[in-house]
Each structure stands twice: as C-alpha cells, then as structure tokens.
Amino acid sequence: MQTSRPWGLLGVAAGVAGLATSYLAAKALTIRDPPLVAAAELVVRFTPGAVVEWAIETLGPADKPVLMLLVVLVLLAGFVAAGWAWPRGWWRSVLVWVLLAGAGLLAVQLQRGAGMVDAVPIGVGLATSLLCQALLVRLAGPASPAGETAAETAGETEGHSSPEGRTGAAPGRRGLLAGLGATVVLAVAATTFGRVVGNRKRAIQESRRLVRIPGVTDRDPPPRARVDVPGVTSWQTPNEDFYRIDTTLAVPTIDPSQWRLRIHGMVEREVVLTYQQLIDMELTEAWITLNCVSNPVAGPLIGNAWWSGVLTERLLRMARPLPDADAVLQTSDDGWNCSTPLSAMTDVRDAMVAVAMNGEPLPLEHGFPARTIVPGLYGFTSACKWVVDWEVTRFVDVDAFWTQRGWAEQAPVRLGSRIDVPSAGDTVPAGSVRVGGMAWHQHVGISAVEVAVDGGDWQSAEVALPRTNDTWVQWAATVEVGPGDHVLRVRARDKRGEVQTGVRRDVVPDGATGWHEVGFSASDEDD
C-alpha cells in the first residue's frame, strides 16, 4: 500500500538538502539574504501592524527566532506534502516543489535591490530537492502501478510470501537508509561549507575593526548628569546593552568601501556620498537618547549614547531641497523605510548621519557603516539603520513601512518618566527612603520631576543637569513611609511647562502615555 513507505520523510530529506544547497549558493554569491531568511522577512513585510506589535510586546527579543521557527515548520509541511504526492503521480510532487520554489523566488525578488543572481540559490535548491527525492525513491524501490514498491510485491505470489521476496525487500530498506544518511551528510556539509566560504559578517566585522574615523572621541558623562542613588539606570548605555528593534532577520553586512548614500527627489541636485567622503567631513558629537514607539510606560526600549556623525542639515544643504518638500523618505539597505520631517533634519537639533557610537564605529546591529539619528522623534519615523537612500519628498506622496500599518505619520517623543528604585515588590526599611529613576522629553528637556506616595501630594525631586535637552535625566527624592504596603508614582514637567499626563494610552499610534507607579513594602528594622 502507498503508506508503507515513508513518503513524507523522503520529502523532508529532499527539502532539507535543497535548503542547504540554496544556503551554500547564497553564501558563495555573497547574497545578503538566503531564501529562508528572505521568506521570513516577506512575512514581516505583510504582517498587520497589530500583530507585529503583539509579537514585540509578548515575545520581546524572541520574536525573530519564533518567526523563523514558524517559517521552517511551514516549509517542512510543504516538504512532507511533496513526499506524499510522489506515489500519486511524480508530476504532482514536482508541482509541489515548483510551488515552494516559486514562493521562495517571490520572497527573494521582493527584497530591495534584488536581481537575477538572487534567483540562483532558488534554482539550486529546487534542482537538489528534485534530484534527492528521485534518488531516494529509487533506493527505496520502484513503485508498482498500484502504488506498492517492487520490494513489497516481489515476495507475494498468489497470496503467498516467499523467502526470496522477503530477501528482495532488504536491499530497498538498506538502500533507503543509506540514501537518507547521505542526504543528511550533504545537508550538513553544504551548510557548514556555506558558512565557511561565505561568512561575510566576519569579513565586515574585520573591516569595522580596522576603520579609523578622525574626530571621534570617547566622552565621559557630564559632571552633573548623575544622581547618587544606587540602582538607578546608568546615564550612558553601553553598546551591548542598547535596545534593538528592527524588522530585519539577517543583519545587513555592508562593506564600507561599497556603501553609498544617495540624496535625490525634490532637490536641485542629486548627491551621492561614499563612506570615505562622509567621514572626511566635519563631525558633530552629542549625547542623544533614543526610544522606540513600542516602549510601554517605563519599558526598557530606551537608551542613551554618545553619537558621532555628520549633521543631516549639512548633507541636505548640498542637495538643496525644493520649497514644496516637507519629508525625507529614508531607506535602509534591507528595504525598510521611514518618512522623516524635513524640518527636523534641517533645524538646529543635532540630527546626524551617525558613524560612531560611544566612541567606536557603529556595531553591525546598530547600523554600521552609517545610520540616521534625529533627536526628539521616535525611531520608526527617523532612526534609519544601514541607511543608503534619502528621497526628498512630501508626506502626501509617500507611505512608509509603519504608517502603512496604522502608526502615526509624524511622532515626536512623548514626555515620560519612570521609577528605577525601588523595584516593584521590594521591601525597604520604614522611614526615610531614597527613590530615583529617569525622565525624558528629547529636544524639549526636563525642568522638574515630582513623586507621590499612596496618592498623596506631589513633592519635588532632585533633577540632574546634563546640559542637553536631547537626553534623559536622572532624578532622586527622599520620601517618608511607615510600615506596610505603598505605591509610589512619578511624573515629569518639561521646559515648555507641559506636565506629564496620567492618562493611560497604548503605544499605537504614536507612543504610550501614563504615570509609572511601583508597589513596594516597608518594614520596621526589628521585624
């Protein structure tokens, strides 16, 4: 009978071999996204914004691995289907393989800058899968017209099994096992060799290590930027701890000698800059806090770093935007884009194309060789990592990645604050308790922070003075609490006089609002 051979297993083995050789081909041709990654990124591109936001909030850093796992499971189901189709007609199986390859080809060709060469790994994988499945079926024994294998029918004559028939079935099983083993070896060898011959990331890491950028410094925090409360978040965020939110599953690996920034669209002259031309310009350095619009009240998606780069105003002045332009559509090497107010990239703030972070060339994960930083705007409208293209345009004429998914067209950072000390659930000695945390309103600045215990009156906190409006600030206060459970709240006031609202709003479409509050307990020291 047809189910007596592991047809699904044969399909999985052939499919895995095809994936491995397509990966090898992609690496050998230095294609950034192997087909499997391209398929996952296509899913991200067409996933509704609400689903993406749920994944970020629920899964956190695990969102991309989970997506890759789901894509792999869907592919495995396709491989099983291709295997099951074979005994029902070999052409049916071929049709399934062609459909799978077609989906992969679509995903690859929809990638930014894809060309004919990007289709080569798909062809290699398809050919490998078809060949491996045909060989495995042959090793398992040819199928009879009724769908049975020769090994199963050879030993049956007029309803009786013969010793010769049973002996004839064994080579088919042995051959099948040998074929499956050889397929596994092929897959492992192809994947391993692909990583060796095509480890572009390792080469770009070495290029990054050798980069020397004149004018980049490593700056200590300003003298009055910190408060003396143990447990308050460090004023400067180390590169390795800086939050990362993006849609790419394979970090772009760009050779700085090949990087270009093209400025075009509604301009008097098109400008194309190389990396060397960029770093030869006068650099600006500044402390700037970035935060993601997906950050909930008091969430972790915020960080402060010492950025070095060339002012966007200077670069745009070279192209001379036309009077009717009001936006810049920024595009990343991986195809992601955002629309940024032209005014925010040309006013007095330290908006820049950054080339260094905390005194060293940008990490690959944070945009090497260059990214855009615009103080006072959420990242989804401004912070384009691996930036390669600026189209000067109008908001009415463009529809960027996140605005297509229901997020705001323009999104200035909202006034916010949080409590770091005490943490939720802490137990502290009753009496005078030192509390502290962070507050921010980039490009506006913080003038005051207030705290309240158990819904009582607001009292002023001490606020550090980092001498810049584009970063967060630390704050500290001393509150009096008796034994028992308590709730501490915080709110900030900016330099325009705006008081942080206590109204709770979701992150969609332009950032969360609300006061952060922490529940803690106080006890007598004798308890």
- Per-residue pLDDT of 122-135, as tens digits, reads 888 899 999 888 88
For residues 374-380, average pLDDT: 96
pLDDT band for position 140 (cuts 50, 70, 90) = confident
126: closest CA among 91, 103, 98, 90? 98
The 10s digit of each residue's pLDDT in 167-194 is: 333 345 666 666 667 666 666 665 666 5
Q: What pLDDT, on a 0 to 100 scale, did the predictor assign at position 169?
A: 39
**pLDDT score, position 280:** 95
CA distances from 20 to 17, 87, 192 (A): 5, 25, 9
257-271 mean pLDDT: 97
Q: Is the predicted pLDDT of residue 195 greater than 90, yes or no?
A: no
Side chain identity at residue 382, one-letter code: S
Of 113, 38, 31, 120, the closest CA to residue 75 belongs to 38
Question: Rounded to 5 degrees, what are φ and ψ at 389?
Answer: -150, 130
The residue from 177, 198, 219 where one domain ends is: 198
Residue 172: which H helix or E strand, with range? helix 163-197
| pLDDT score of 252 | 87
pLDDT for 436 equals 98
Is the same domain home to 35 and 147? yes
For residues 520 and 482, the answer to whether their CB atoms sit within 8 Å is no
Are 363 and 428 in the same domain? no
Q: How confident is the model at residue 175, as a pLDDT?
A: 60
- Inform me whether the pLDDT recorded for 196 exceeds 60: no
The C-alpha atoms of residue 488 and residue 498 are separated, in whole angstroms, by: 21
Of 370, 405, 440, the last residue of a domain is 405
| Higher pLDDT among residues 418 and 69, named by residue | 418
pLDDT tens column, 480-502:
999 999 999 999 999 999 999 99
Q: Exposed/middle/buried for 447, CB within 10 Å: 0-12, 13-18, 19+?
A: middle
Beta bridge partners of 289: 304
- Residue 350 in any domain: the answer is yes
CA distance linking residue 328 with residue 338, whole number of Å: 8
pLDDT band at 516 (very low <50, low <70, confident <90, very high): very high
In this prediction, residue 198 has a pLDDT band, given cuts at 50, 70 and 90, of low
Q: What is the pLDDT of residues 6-25, one digit of tens each?
A: 888 888 888 988 888 888 87
Q: What is the 8-class DSSP label of residue 480?
A: E
Q: Pick from 376, 405, 434: which residue ends a domain?
A: 405
368 and 478 together in one domain? no
Using left for φ > 0, alpha for ψ between -120 and 50, and beta otherwise, residue 322 falls in beta
Q: What CATH number is given to the structural domain containing 387? A: 3.90.420.10
Q: Which residues contact 445 (CB under 8 A, 6 or more apart)?
A: 468, 469, 494, 495
pLDDT (0 to 100) of residue 113:
65
194 with 160, same domain? yes
Cα 115 to Cα 103: distance, rounded to the nearest angstrom: 16
C-alpha 394/C-alpha 397 separation (Å) is: 5
The percentage of the chain sitting over the pLDDT mark of 90, rounded to a whole number, equals 59
Tell me what the pLDDT averaged over the chain comes to.
87
The burial class, CB within 10 Å (0-12 / 13-18 / 19+), for 365 is middle
Q: Are residues 401 and 422 in the same domain?
A: no
Residue 199 pLDDT > 70, yes or no?
no
Residue 354 lies in a domain: yes
- Is residue 204 very low, low, confident or very high in pLDDT (cuts 50, 70, 90)? confident
Residue 400, pLDDT > 50, answer: yes
Whether residues 321 and 400 share a domain: the answer is: yes
| Local confidence band at 166 (pLDDT 50, 70, 90 cut-offs) | very low
Please give the residue that has the higher pLDDT: either 196 or 33.
33
**Alpha-carbon distance 217 to 227, whole Å?**
24
521 DSSP β-pair partners: 427, 485
Please say whether the beta carbons of 344 and 374 come within 8 A. yes
**Do both 401 and 420 map to the same domain?**
no
- Which CATH number goes with the domain that contains 463? 2.60.40.650
Q: What is the mean pLDDT of residues 294-317?
A: 96
Considering only CA atoms, give the Rg of the chain: 30
Q: How confident is the model at residue 148 (pLDDT cuts 50, 70, 90)?
A: very low
**Residue 143 domain-assigned?**
yes
Same domain, 243 and 281: yes
Q: Which residue has the tokens 């506006």?
A: 444
pLDDT for the residue 176? 60
Is residue 236 scored above 80 in pLDDT? yes
Q: Is there a single domain that holds both residue 440 and residue 400?
A: no
pLDDT confidence bin for 162, thresholds 50/70/90:
very low
370 located within any domain: yes
**Ranges 87-91, 292-296, 310-314: which has the least confidence:** 87-91
Domain coverage including residue 253 = 239-405
Q: How far apart are CA 245 and CA 127, in angstroms?
A: 37
Which has the higher per-residue pLDDT, 26 or 404? 404
Over the stretch 348-373, which tens digit does the pLDDT of each residue have? Answer: 999 999 999 999 999 999 999 999 99
Residue type, 249: L
DSSP 8-class letter at 314: H
Mean pLDDT across the stretch 194-219?
Answer: 78
DSSP of 116-158: GGGGHHHHHHHHHHHHHHHHHHHHH-PBPTTS-BHHHHTTEET
pLDDT tens for 437-476 read: 999 999 999 999 999 999 999 999 999 999 899 999 999 9
Mark whether 52 and 172 lie in a shared domain: yes
- For the chain, the farthest-separated pair of C-alpha atoms sits apart, in whole angstroms, at 98
326 lies in a domain?
yes
User: To 10 degrees, what angle do helices 63-85 and 49-59 make?
Assistant: 110
Question: Percentage of the chain with pLDDT > 70?
Answer: 85
Residue 18: the pLDDT is 87
* pLDDT given at position 147: 43
- Over 70: is that where the pLDDT of 215 sits? yes
- CA-closest candidate to residue 357, choices 284, 318, 305, 404: 305
Looking at residue 404, what DSSP letter applies? G
Domain count within the chain = 3
Contacts 24+ apart (CB under 8 A), 184-187: 184/13, 184/16, 186/17, 186/20, 186/21, 186/132, 187/16, 187/17, 187/19, 187/20
Do residues 7 and 96 both lie within one domain?
Answer: yes
420 and 401 share a domain? Answer: no
Residue 203 lies in a domain: no
- Which pLDDT does position 192 carry in this prediction? 65
On whether residue 227 sits in a domain, the answer given is: no
Q: Which of 401, 402, 392 is nearest to 262 (CA)?
A: 392
pLDDT band at 154 (very low <50, low <70, confident <90, very high): very low
Task: Report the sign of the C-alpha dihedral through residues 187, 190, 192, 198, in that order.
Answer: negative
